[in-house]
C-alpha cells in the first residue's frame, strides 16, 4: 500500500506549467460567485472574515452571515472596537464561537502593531490570533497573490486522487506533504490565489466526496492518476472520526409576562460568554420519564427541584419539544420544560446571577443564543409568551 512517503508527484512536477494553466483558466471561467470574492481587487479583510467563517461551516450557511457582518463591521477598526455581546450576536448560530473572539483579538493586534492592515507575509499572518497555517496561506495567496499553499479538506481530497495516494488524509503528515508539494508548484502559477481557490472549488463541486467524483467535467482529468487507475471511489483514505459523547439535558423555558429567562454562560468552556436558557444534565431514563410524566399543576410538584433555585413562583409546567444539537465532540439530546411563572419575579436577585427576562425583541437583537437552542427560541418567538394550558390537570 502506498504511503505519503512514497507518493509520486513526478507527473505533476514535470507538467506543472500546463497543470497550473489549466486550473487557472478553469477558475476564471467557472469560479463560484461568492460575496467575499473579487478576482480583480481582492479585499484582505473580506478574505480573512470569510475564511474564518468557512471553517467547519458550509458556504451556503455563511453567505448571509458574511453580508451582515461586513455591513455592520466594514473594516478592521470597526471589528477591533465592537462590544463583545454585539459580536456574539452577529456570530449567533455559526457555532465555534472562539473563532469570533479571536477575530476581534486579531483585529486589535492589527490596529496596534500593523497600522490597521493585514500583513501579506504568511509567516506574520500565522502568528496572529486565530490564524493557523491554512488561513495564513489562504489570505496571503488570495488577497496578496503570495505563492503559499492553503490545504483544506477539499484540497486533501483532490490531491489524494490526483496522486492516487492512499495516505490517511486525517494525518498531519499527509497535509504537510501536500502543502510542501503545492508550495513547490505555486511559484510557477500566474496567480497563486486563483490556483488555491480553483482546487477548493474543484473539491466542492466536481471532485466531491463519497466516491461520486464527476470526472468527465474535471479540468485536470488528464493529470489524475486515480482516474486512470479506476480507483477514484476508493480515495481519499480517511480514518473514522471518534464517536461523540451523548448528553441528555433538560432546557428550562421559564416565562413571565411574555418574557423568557436567559442566563450568561461562563467565559470559559463550551459556548463561553453566550446566553442560554438555564438547563441541567439528566439521565436518558429521566428524559423518558419526563416525556411520559405529568404536566400542568401536577408537574410543578414533580419537577420543582429543576427550577426551584431561581426563586420563582410557578403556576404551571409541561414538557415538550425534544431537539438535538451536535457539537464537534458532544451531542446534546434536549427536552424543554415550559414553566409559566407568576408575578412578581425577583428580577434583581436574578440579575446578580447574570439571569435576565428577555422579550422577543431582545432575543432577536440583544442576547446571542447559540444554534443549540434555536428550536426553543423559534418556538417562543412563534408563540410569544402564550403557554398552552391544554394539558393542565
Write out the catalytic residue numbers.
51
Interface stretch with ligand SF4, choices 12-20, 177-185, 221-229, 264-272 (CB under 6 A): 221-229
Which listed residue (52, 131, 198, 213) binds ligand SF4 by CB under 6 A? 213
Bridge partners of residue 339, in order along the sequence: 254, 317
CB of 203 to ligand SF4, least distance (A): 8
Interface stretch with ligand SF4, choices 205-213, 306-314, 318-326, 336-344 (CB under 6 A): 205-213
CB of 152 to ligand SF4, least distance (A): 15
Distance CA 262, CA 41 (A): 44
> On the CB side of 283, how many CA atoms lie within 13 Å of its CA?
3
Q: Which cell goes with 38?
A: 473579487
Which listed residue (46, 227, 249, 318) binds ligand SF4 by CB under 6 A? 227
220 forms part of the interface with ligand SF4 (CB under 6 A): yes
Please, where are the H alpha helices in the chain? Answer: 10-14, 16-30, 44-54, 59-72, 76-80, 84-91, 98-113, 122-125, 133-144, 153-162, 172-185, 192-205, 225-229, 284-292, 296-307, 347-352, 360-365, 374-383
182 forms part of the interface with ligand SF4 (CB under 6 A): no
- CB 374, CB 281: distance < 8 Å: no
CA nearest 149: which of 189, 114, 112, 109? 189
CB of 157 to ligand SF4, least distance (A): 8
Residue with smaller CB distance to ligand SF4, 107 or 158:
158
Residue with smaller CB distance to ligand SF4, 167 or 232:
232
Residues 161-180 close enough to bind ligand SF4 by CB under 6 A: 161-162
Which listed residue (94, 218, 306, 337) binds ligand SF4 by CB under 6 A? 218
Place of cell 495567496: 141
CB of 159 to ligand SF4, least distance (A): 9
181 forms part of the interface with ligand SF4 (CB under 6 A): no
CB neighbour list of residue 123: distance below 8 Å, 6 or more residues apart: 136
Residue with smaller CB distance to ligand SF4, 113 or 229:
229
Which listed residue (12, 142, 181, 224) binds ligand SF4 by CB under 6 A? 224
Q: Which cell goes with 169?
A: 488524509
Mapping DSSP to helix (H, G, I), strand (E, B) and coil, where does residue 219 land? Answer: coil
221 forms part of the interface with ligand SF4 (CB under 6 A): yes
**Cα 38 to chain center, whole Å?**
23
Helix axes 44-54, 133-144, angle to 10 degrees: 150
Which listed residue (158, 181, 185, 189) binds ligand SF4 by CB under 6 A? 158
Distance CA 128, CA 60 (A): 27
- CB 130, CB 149: distance < 8 Å: no
189 forms part of the interface with ligand SF4 (CB under 6 A): no
Residue with smaller CB distance to ligand SF4, 16 or 227:
227
CB neighbour list of residue 86: distance below 8 Å, 6 or more residues apart: none
- CB 159, CB 146: distance < 8 Å: no
Interface stretch with ligand SF4, choices 81-89, 125-133, 155-163, 282-290 (CB under 6 A): 155-163
- CB 32, CB 205: distance < 8 Å: yes
Residues 344-363 close enough to bind ligand SF4 by CB under 6 A: none
CB of 188 to ligand SF4, least distance (A): 19
215 forms part of the interface with ligand SF4 (CB under 6 A): yes
Interface stretch with ligand SF4, choices 100-108, 154-162, 298-306, 364-372 (CB under 6 A): 154-162
Distance CA 352, CA 344 (A): 17
- CB 66, CB 94: distance < 8 Å: no
Total site size for ligand SF4, rule CB under 6 A: 14
Interface stretch with ligand SF4, choices 67-75, 158-166, 265-273, 368-376 (CB under 6 A): 158-166
Residue with smaller CB distance to ligand SF4, 7 or 306:
7
207 forms part of the interface with ligand SF4 (CB under 6 A): yes
* Site for ligand SF4, rule CB under 6 A: 158, 161-162, 206-207, 213, 215, 218, 220-221, 224, 226-227, 232
Amino acid at each position: 500500500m502506498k504511503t505519503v512517503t512514497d507518493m509520486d508527484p513526478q507527473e505533476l512536477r514535470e507538467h506543472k506549467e500546463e497543470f497550473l494553466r489549466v486550473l487557472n483558466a478553469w477558475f476564471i471561467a467557472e469560479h463560484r460567485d461568492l460575496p467575499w470574492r473579487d478576482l480583480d481587487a481582492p479585499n484582505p479583510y473580506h478574505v480573512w472574515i470569510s475564511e474564518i467563517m468557512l471553517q467547519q461551516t458550509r458556504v451556503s450557511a455563511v453567505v448571509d452571515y458574511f453580508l451582515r457582518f461586513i455591513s455592520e463591521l466594514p473594516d478592521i477598526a470597526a471589528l477591533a472596537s465592537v462590544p463583545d455581546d454585539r459580536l456574539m450576536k452577529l456570530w449567533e448560530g455559526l457555532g465555534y464561537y472562539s473563532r469570533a473572539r479571536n477575530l476581534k483579538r486579531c483585529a486589535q493586534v492589527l490596529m496596534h502593531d500593523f497600522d490597521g492592515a493585514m500583513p501579506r507575509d504568511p509567516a506574520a499572518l500565522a502568528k496572529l490570533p486565530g490564524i493557523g497555517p491554512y488561513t495564513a496561506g489562504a489570505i496571503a495567496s488570495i488577497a496578496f497573490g503570495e505563492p503559499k499553499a492553503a490545504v483544506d479538506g477539499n484540497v486533501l481530497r483532490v490531491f489524494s486522487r490526483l496522486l492516487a495516494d492512499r495516505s490517511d488524509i486525517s494525518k498531519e503528515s499527509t497535509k504537510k506533504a501536500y502543502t510542501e508539494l503545492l508550495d513547490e508548484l505555486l511559484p510557477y502559477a500566474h496567480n497563486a490565489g486563483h490556483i488555491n481557490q480553483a482546487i477548493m472549488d474543484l473539491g466542492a463541486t466536481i471532485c466531491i466526496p463519497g466516491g461520486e467524483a464527476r470526472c468527465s467535467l474535471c479540468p485536470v482529468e488528464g493529470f489524475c492518476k486515480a482516474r486512470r487507475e479506476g480507483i477514484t471511489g476508493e480515495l481519499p483514505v480517511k480514518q473514522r472520526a471518534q464517536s461523540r459523547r451523548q448528553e441528555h439535558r433538560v432546557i428550562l423555558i421559564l416565562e413571565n409576562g411574555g418574557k423568557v429567562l436567559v442566563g450568561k454562560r461562563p467565559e470559559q468552556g463550551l459556548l463561553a460568554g453566550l446566553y442560554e436558557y438555564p438547563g441541567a444534565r439528566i439521565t436518558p431514563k429521566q428524559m423518558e420519564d419526563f416525556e411520559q410524566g405529568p404536566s400542568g399543576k401536577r408537574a410543578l410538584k414533580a419537577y420543582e427541584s429543576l427550577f426551584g433555585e431561581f426563586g420563582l413562583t410557578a403556576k404551571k409546567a409541561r414538557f415538550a419539544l425534544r431537539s438535538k444539537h451536535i457539537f464537534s465532540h458532544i451531542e446534546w439530546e434536549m427536552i424543554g420544560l415550559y414553566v409559566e411563572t407568576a408575578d412578581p419575579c425577583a428580577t434583581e436577585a436574578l440579575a446578580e446571577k447574570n439571569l435576565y427576562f428577555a422579550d422577543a425583541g431582545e432575543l432577536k437583537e440583544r442576547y446571542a443564543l447559540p444554534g443549540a437552542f434555536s428550536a426553543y427560541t423559534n418556538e417562543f418567538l412563534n408563540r410569544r409568551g402564550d403557554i398552552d394550558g391544554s394539558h393542565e390537570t
